[in-house]
Structure 1
Amino acid sequence: MTARLLLLAMAAVATQAASAALELVGYSGGFGEWEWTGKVVERAAGRAKEYSGPVTLTHTGICTQDGPETKAAEIRFQLSRFPSEMKATVVVDGVECRFSGRLTDRYTGSMTCPDRPAVPLSIWVK
């Protein structure tokens, strides 16, 4: 009986986690040359909703010779309702970057990384 209850509890947690998963897509760079794709899950963070998960960045520019370059990244962000805004931390190649964007049909803003110029970033969360 205890094993059944444990299995039911584990299934309920897995179902809740799966239902809170969101797809993230976007692009960054002066010409939108980096495509972003990933799945994020909701984490408990008090009043604001916080999401986190892995993201793949794919360079889609025409300068690639041996196929597109890809980078693995991690994103953590909060969404606020008023004003509709995203505040995110992105870690790419061990470098922590910050993003703040306003919602129109997507979240748009600039991503800033240490010792680098800011780059435009647009993110859709669905």
Structure 2
Amino acid sequence: MKIEYLYKNIEFTSNIAKEIIPAILLKYSTLKREKLIEMVYLYHILNGGLETKNNEKSNIKTALTDLKEKEIIEQPKIGYYQLTEKYQAKIKLGEDNLIKLPFERQPEEEVEVEDLEEEVKNLC
């Protein structure tokens, strides 16, 4: 039985972005803001989520600000983001409650984070 993306057919919001951003940064360590924005939004769309009627960049920037205030992400230099060492320690200790892509269970055809690189290249 295939389990669907929790936000399938739901418009993209900053709260959805807050769930996707840490998982992508866990995989890619440090990313430039523009690349992170593309990957987060594309992840949502490719898994069946709806486009936003607002500006997706604005939603993601709001999510980045919130995650930064909660010390989950940081900016090692202007325009780049990564997970904080403090949050990475929580992940290693199993104390994180955020690094879970928004699926109820593992779907049969999940779009992997690695696939996003190729999809972004194809869109350009």
Please state which band the TM-score falls in when normalised by the shorter chain.
under 0.3
Q: Which of the pair has more CA radius of gyration?
A: 1
TM-score for both structures, normalised by structure 1: 0.24
Q: Which structure carries more strand by proportion?
A: 1
TM-score for both structures, normalised by structure 2: 0.24
Higher RCO (CA-CA < 8 Å; seq separation 6+): 2
Q: Which structure carries more helix by proportion?
A: 2
